[in-house]
Structure 1
Amino acid sequence: MKNFKKLLIFFSGVSGVSASSANTAQNTAQNTTQKFLSFSLVFLAILAVLALQALTPLPLTPLKATSFCGPLELEFEGYSFINPEIVNTKATYAPYFLRFNDLYRYYDTLEQIQEGDNLQEWSERFCNLYSKDDLRTVIYKATARDIKRLRNAANDKKAALPVRIKNNSFAFHLRDEKCLEVIDYLIFAKQCERHVVVGEGWSTPKRNVEEMLKMIIRGKRAFMKTASYYVRLRYAYQIIRLAHYAKKYQLTLDLYDELMPKIHANPSLIDYWILGHKAGALLKLGKNVEASYLYSLIFAHSRSKRQSAFQSFSIKNNKEWEQLLKRCKSDAERAMLYAIRANEDGSNEVEEMGHIYELDAHNENLELLLVKEIIKIERDLLGKDFNDNRKRNERYFHIPRKKAGEHLIRLKTFVKKILKEKKVARYDLWRIAEGYLTFLAGDYYEANQTFAKIQKTLKTKNKALEEQLEVAQLALNIAQLDSLNQETENGIGDIMRENPLYWKYKDFPDYINDKLGAIYKKTGEKGKAFRLHYSLRALKLNPDLEIINDLLRICDKKNKSSLEAALVKKDGLTTIKSDLLKLKGIVLFNKGEIEAAAVTFRKIPRNDRDVSKKFNPFHEHIIDCVHCPIADTLLYDRVGIVDRILKLEYDGRAHLENGAASFYQLGNAYYNMTYFGSSWYVTDLFRSGANWKYVNKNNRYFTYESDRGNVENMDMSRAKKYYETTLELAKNKELAARACFMLAKCNLNEFYLDKDTEYHPFDNKIPVLPEKYNAYYLQFKKEYSDTEFYREAIEECLFLKAY
């Protein structure tokens, strides 16, 4: 799945005639589909909530929220600065030569294209008098029974039209003008549909071949009786298609040869639909060359069948290729063959471009293939030294390609030939391409020189080309950076604040962040590198003291660059300094540096402290309750907790004879501030209830919010230390019983976290503790069963009672 983009915001119908069988197929799958949709809606709702959480913005927002749970597709993560408008994206073959990138947004499905083209042709045959909706209803939605009733109405004015078409203007025309040939054809077409439906998934539906052959005979009789050549053409399509779907491939060819000479209609998209079935039959009979030639014609002339023609094109060796070229009747047909082959996986695109160029230097596919190849090389080489997803791209997409450099050299050599001969339609496009390829090759000096020369001599007043030149120069300027100072940081801030290209080209934020991040990592400025890729939230999930200190250094810097100011900006007036101090205090506290944590927490202005968050971790809990309300009236903030801990530590050590109670409270505090206690928020700003099931030695857990993961405070060692001291010093048996019980709870938690433990607390079963984890439970039962606390614990803790 693709990561949410890192931002750095500064200062801110199958037959062409009828779809009755398609409707039948839809009805067959309707119940399954509804169940799936019900599940999908719930699942998508959950994802939406997760996405909203992941996108919670910082005012500065240089964030990179990672993938969250879900069956989402991985995408290549890189950069592209090709202006979509430098080529004609409405060109005939743009959807196929540019379909693997964002240059071309091809939203319509093949079914939509086929239906739209078919309706357009029907509309033209009836002088564009009727709406597409009315045509669609009659041709695609009405059933065979509906059309039979329409025929009755054409012969009998008293007969009513069916409900589906009773207010349909096209149906009125067919009825009033007694267009019986068209009506009879529509009935036949709808009866054919059930024989030519496509199977679900990879399955092929079982076909009634005997009945299909009878339908062919019926169709031929109707064909011969029909006067309209256009309706004959439609009949021929249905008949030939039936033979193809029945796998009667020789019959398909015979029917084509028999029927097509009897039709003298104007050119129609149906001609190529029929040709597709002839080509399919030839391919099945092993006549690859003849079939591929027909597919090339279909590819060239039929928008609705272009994709299937490309996929069916099949030439297996050079001998077949030479035979195919000999079948071509013009250079245009030969150029199309080379264009098709250039678009196949593993082809030598530059060689094919060379053939096209020799046949037709003005061929529009040359520019499309040029841009396609540049985009491939962009993926291979642009930012390869600093792209933070390069390992992922190598692993999942094998990018960069092993011979990326050779691809670039071949393309650049071809471009130089084009520029030398000056035959192409848009010379300036190829000049810019040469400069951009030089940039991608890493020759920044030569690329600068080339761009500067083009800028002075750009012949074409073309805004798209002018913008392409400007955006290429901007990307080059960023790539050339190898060190940063206040001046360059201010310059980058100006780009982000003022340059419209920064926001127009969606990869610029990523590109700049990754480049700057790589430089900052080299110079040891971890805070800057972090903030270019992550939100402050990610640091809260997994605090890093070096990052925190570097960001605090920037916060305290009097003369910040515009970039630095943005990195630590919280809102219009303040910085993230208080958040960082809180994080630093938590990290120091968890490391056991209590005095340093106290000093850090006190640096936070009172107005910025978590005034609404108060705790009492010193209180004991027989049953752990992570989110239970605190009943005590004596509550503390973090400063108060640290002060109380320091005092208890002093009291306990100063009066060892009577210090057991102080050490017991310290044990409670350290227990309750772990993952398992009610005051966990004191030492951890995010807790996931599922993570004790995935405990690991690194104590780092997956979260959809950050690929840095989430760190939990699951360390029981300090709590155990103070409980053990209490048990050793306690003169009061009741206090000793409490300490022993809490030690047993610590051991139980450690059992949960043991990598060899298969039991999970959510199982709602009593665990069988191994010997190394049950010593304190046995001691509690053996030595303290006569205490009041023992009876209280047994009464409150059903698990202990059963145990």
Structure 2
Amino acid sequence: MMLKSTKSWQIVCASLLLLAASYGIVRACAGGEWDETYTSNYTPEVFVADTTQTPFFYTWLFYYQIGFDTQHNERFNTTNVADWNRYLKGSIDSSSLDYLLNRANDASIDRFAAFFDGKALPDSLTLKVKGLSRSNPQHKEFVRYLGYAKKCEQYAVFYYNDYYWEVKRILPSKETLGKLEKQLRTGFEKSADQFLKERYWFQLVRYYFFYDSERCIAEFENYRSKLTPSTMYYRTMAYAAGAYYATGKFGIANYYYSLIYDGSSLLKTVAHASFHPQDESDWKQTLDLCKSKEERITLWQLLGIRYADEVRSMKEIYKLSPRSPKLDLLLTRYVNKQETAIPYSTNSDSAKAAIAQAIRWCQQVANDGKTSNPFLWSVSAGYLSFLTGDYPKSAQYYQKAAKSAPNSPLAQSQLRLLSLLTSIKLLPTITPASEQALLADLQWLYALSEESVNPRFRYYTAQGWVKTELSKKYTEQGDIVKAECFTTSSAFYASNDNVERLKAFFQNPKANAFEKFCMEMSEKKLADLWEYQAIRAAYSDSLGKAIALMEHVGQTSTLLGNPFVGRKNDCHDCDHAALQKVKYTKMAFLKRLNEAEAAIVGKDAFNNAFVVANAFYNMSHYGNARAFYECSVLGSAHYAPYAIPDEFVDMLTSNQTAAKYYRMALKAATSNEQKAKCLFMLAKCERNEWYNGIFYSDKKNEYRYDPNQVDFIQWSSFKALKAYSSTKFYKEVLNECGYFRKAVRG
């Protein structure tokens, strides 16, 4: 891979210098609940125990788990308190130090400085700081230094808006800062205390980073050899590295960033974000600056992470030290990238060749057994083989991995999970023997939960994949009942024979352990099947049969509106909000509907037929009783007919049965008012059937809009209704229904 130097990258690097200077960066989009845990089978935490490496696991976020690193102003708060607490030997308690270092403003610090000149502290400050003593010279030096440090915050600390990445900022002028540079210089040169001297040195280098890059570099280089690397040392080096970068000395800048990355856990993300070789030339310069093999290894790891070229970096590190633990992070990144990339089989030939070559190298390393983490390499070689479709080789590597598996629940779970995936792929067909062989692992997989396993363990994707794969295999071998248990399909329920076969499966008194497991896995349970059949019977106007089937369901849900009332305009929300003297469950609705239907032949034929017609209308998607058909099989919350599964849309949107009973009511009507009502409701049925044929018959129409599309025709019942213009109902309809007004005018 050749490194590139582009204008866009130069702009990015200019902003990344701010990271080394402890600037803030954009805070939006940090983290989130939906992460790689839900899209991967390979858990990097299994293999890399060093938690300082965690942010660099492969992720679509900027950093794993945290998103953007936004801690630039607060990163060292806790460390500073702990360092000063040790230096002051606990003479000032930690909460007081936290206030002084992290929360007190300039004016408050000036009050504490005045305290050492003999002035009294106000009560508000004595309550916040305990233990400060005029007789302790360390306390006096601490407060003096703190006064200068607070003034440095004018240019060193900046808070970004949560939603904007601002690159430009206005620094205070040197004149505004007054004697600050001189005060820092004096403190550095006169301090005999090493602890204080380091901190004055840090402040001086940081000052020059903002105001004089060359002096920043000189100040750092003049004193660095006198210090042992520490947090303060690496913080200071970060500013020097930024100054080198600003002056175009990329080789040494990136070398320093690698030292910071390796030496300071708190600055790892800062160093990583700032590290950016421009091309192969300055990359070679950086490598030439290394004083040890370990420094070169660190550089290669950082390059692999920064440029997402893990394989190149792994090869170079492996040449230097096959047992380097810095290989581990890069390998986990590469594996996670491969599992989330486009499927291997769909790559171009050149891409396949490159991937195959990289995987062969990983497999060879696993075979050689020279690394410090053979479990990682064997598992990774096995999973990479799985991803490229070489399932026998995948199984061989997992067997090899088992011999070096750590005795930890997370490692054991990872190997068990990936081995299960391969075992399923290796099955040519699923036999009773293979079902029993798989059972324990399947039961384990689907018993996993956030409470029962490490929360970082990635098993969600496997749970879905295993169901899909088993369902596919069962379908291919003709066992559609078990296939349905693992992955449900609306098409399965289009056949009542299928439903009966599934019912028989659920009711088998001699079911074995695997069959019982299938029943547990099924989204649909026996009661769901009875309910679905009862609903279908109701739509076919077989009410007695529907009631008998619904008896098996047990308690049924309650409808939200009165299904026996008719409306001029469809408004199920209005009906749901209306006062209801009687609340109907699905079973109660069926029984009442059956009674009304049986009474149509009696003396009150019109009212009973009209009520039955209303019920069938409201049972449809257009009415107020959609809840009647909502169930596990048919689904729920269908916002439009487009959302209804294809297999059920005709049944749930049809108004033909309702129209049949409205015509019965019309025939039995004894007044013009009654006839007008029947004709209007018939017109609504005609309208809905027209919608079904014109719009809802093609789901592509959901995303089409034609302003010239006809949405109204002269339905025959509207034409017939015109003959009843003298009725009260006619006038009400004319007032409420725009379509009817068009019909009258037309």
The change in CA–CA distance for 1:245 and 1:127 in structure 2 (over 3 A counts) is same
Distance 2:44 2:308 in 1: 26
Distance change in 2, residues 1:152/1:533 (3 Å): farther
Structure 2 CA distance, aligned partners of 1:470 and 1:332?
35
Q: CA deviation at 1:664?
A: 3.7
Please report the TM-score for the alignment, with normalisation by the length of structure 2: 0.75
Q: Which residue of 1 aligns with 2:351?
A: 403
Of 186, 195, 201, the match for 2:146: 186
Q: For 1:755 and 1:162, how far apart are their aligned partners in 2?
A: 77
Which segment is superposed worse, 175-184 or 789-798? 789-798
SS at match of 2:76: helix
CA contact (8 A) 1:734 1:787 kept: yes
Contact 1:700-1:709 at 8 Å conserved across structures: yes
Whole-Å separation in 2 of the counterparts to 1:314 and 1:371: 22
Query: How do 1:778-789 and structure 2 match up within 5 A?
Result: 780=721, 782-787=722-727, 789=729
Which of 361, 364, 377 is the matching residue for 1:416? 364
1:683 aligns with 2:624: no
Q: Take 1:743 and 1:459, find their aligned partners in 2: how far apart are those partners?
A: 73
Amino acid at match of 2:106: A
Alignment of 1:93-112 (within 5 A): 93-97=53-57, 110-111=71-72
Question: Deviation at 1:351?
Answer: 2.7
State the alpha-carbon separation in 1 of the partners of residues 552 and 224 from structure 2: 93
Instruction: Determine the structure 1 residue equivalent to 2:173.
Output: 209
Q: C-alpha deviations, 1:242-283, integer Å up to 9, x for none?
A: 44345x4345335545xx539955543222222212221222
Structure 1 residue 632, shift from structure 2 partner: 6.5
The aligned runs of 1:365-444 (5 Å cut-off) are: 365-380=326-341, 403=351, 406-417=354-365, 419-420=367-368, 423-427=370-374, 429-444=376-391
> Paired residue for 2:535, among 581, 586, 603?
586
Q: Distance in 2 between matches of 1:262 and 1:523?
A: 73
| Amino acid of the structure 2 residue aligned with 1:787 | T
Q: For residue 220 of structure 1, what is the aligned residue in structure 2? A: 185
The aligned counterpart of 1:252 is 216
Question: Following the alignment from structure 1 to structure 2, what is the Cα–Cα distance between the partners of residues 454 and 477?
Answer: 15
Matched with 2:223 is 261
**1-side partners of 2:35 and 2:227: how far apart?**
49
The match for 1:723 is 662
Change (3 A) 1:185 1:454: closer
* Consecutive unaligned residues in structure 1, runs of 5 or more: 1-13, 34-70, 386-393, 702-707, 757-768
CA RMSD after TM alignment? 5.2
Other-structure match for 2:699: none
Q: Is the 8 A contact 1:671 1:716 kept in 2?
A: yes
Query: Cα–Cα, structure 1 residues 474 and 771, in superposed 2: closer, same or farther, change >3 Å?
Result: closer
Name the SS for the 1:594 alignment partner: coil
1:522 and 2:476 aligned? yes
SS in 1 for 2:556: coil
1:610 aligns with 2:583: no
Distance 1:237 1:139 in 2: 16
CA distance in 1, matches of 2:584, 2:280: 88
Per the normalisation by structure 1, the TM-score is 0.70
Kept after mapping to 1: 8 A contact 2:58/2:336: no
Residue number in structure 1 paired with 2:77: 115
- Percentage of identical aligned residues: 20
For 2:490 and 2:443, the matched residues in 1 are separated by 26
Q: In the aligned structure 2, how far is the partner of 1:689 from the partner of 1:488?
A: 37
Q: Please tell me whether the aligned partners of residues 55 and 66 of structure 2 are also in contact (alpha carbons under 8 angstroms).
A: yes
Question: Aligned partners of 2:580 and 2:502: how far apart in 1?
Answer: 35
| Residue in structure 2 matching 1:495, options 403, 428, 441 | 441
Q: Distance in 2 between matches of 1:484 and 1:564?
A: 13
For the Cα contact (< 8 Å) 2:323–2:372, is it kept in 1? Answer: yes
Change (3 A) 1:731 1:304: same
* 3-state SS, counterpart of residue 116 of structure 2: helix
1:54-453 matched pairs, under 5 angstroms? 77-82=38-43, 84-90=45-51, 93-97=53-57, 110-111=71-72, 113-127=75-89, 131-156=93-118, 159-160=120-121, 163-164=124-125, 166=127, 168-169=129-130, 172=132, 176-177=136-137, 179-196=139-156, 197-200=158-161, 201-203=164-166, 204-211=168-175, 214=178, 215-246=180-211, 248-256=212-220, 260-261=222-223, 264=226, 267-347=229-309, 349-380=310-341, 403=351, 406-417=354-365, 419-420=367-368, 423-427=370-374, 429-452=376-399
Which string of whole-angstrom CA distances, capped at 9 and with x for unpartnered residues, describes residues 419-449 of structure 1? 43x5433456545544454444433334444
Displacement of 1:488 after TM fit? 3.7
Unaligned runs of 5+ in 2: 1-16, 697-709
Distance 2:429 2:254 in 1: 56
Q: What secondary structure sits across from 1:336 in the alignment?
A: helix
Map of 2:713 onto structure 1? 772
Residues 476-517 of structure 1: per-residue CA shift (max 9 Å, x gap): 323323433444444444334468996645515334323223
Residues 365-419 of structure 1 show CA distances to partners (whole Å, capped at 9, x for unaligned) of: 023323333333344599x89xxxxxxxx9xxxx999836743542442442564
Residues 612 and 419 (structure 1), Cα distance of their counterparts in 2 relative to 1, 3 Å cut:
closer
Q: Write out aligned runs for 1:603-752 (5 A).
A: 603-605=549-551, 608=554, 610=556, 617-621=563-567, 625-627=574-576, 628-631=578-581, 637=588, 639-640=590-591, 643-644=594-595, 647=598, 651=601, 663-685=609-631, 695=640, 697=642, 699=644, 713-720=652-659, 722-723=661-662, 726-727=665-666, 730=669, 732-743=671-682, 745-746=684-685
* Separation in structure 2 between the aligned mates of residue 153 and residue 634 of structure 1, nearest angstrom: 80
Which of 484, 494, 511 aligns to 2:430? It is: 484
Higher relative contact order (Cα pairs below 8 Å, separated by 6+ residues): 1
Q: Which residue of 2 aligns with 1:50?
A: none
Q: 1:355 Cα shift?
A: 1.6
Which amino acid in the other structure matches residue 617 of structure 2?
A: Y
Alignment partner of 1:442: what SS?
A: coil
SS in 1 for 2:575: coil
What CA distance in whole angstroms lies between the structure 1 residues aligned with 2:628 and 2:553?
A: 18
C-alpha spacing 1:188/1:566, structure 2 compared with 1 (3 Å): same
Retained in 1: the 8 A contact 2:85–2:97? yes
8 Å CA contact 1:699, 1:712 repeated in 2: no
1:63 aligned partner: none
Partner SS state of residue 740, structure 1: helix
Report the equivalent of 1:551: 502
Instruction: Rate the CA distance shift 1:459–1:239 in 2: closer, same or farther, 3 A.
Output: closer
Report deviation, 1:548.
Answer: 4.5
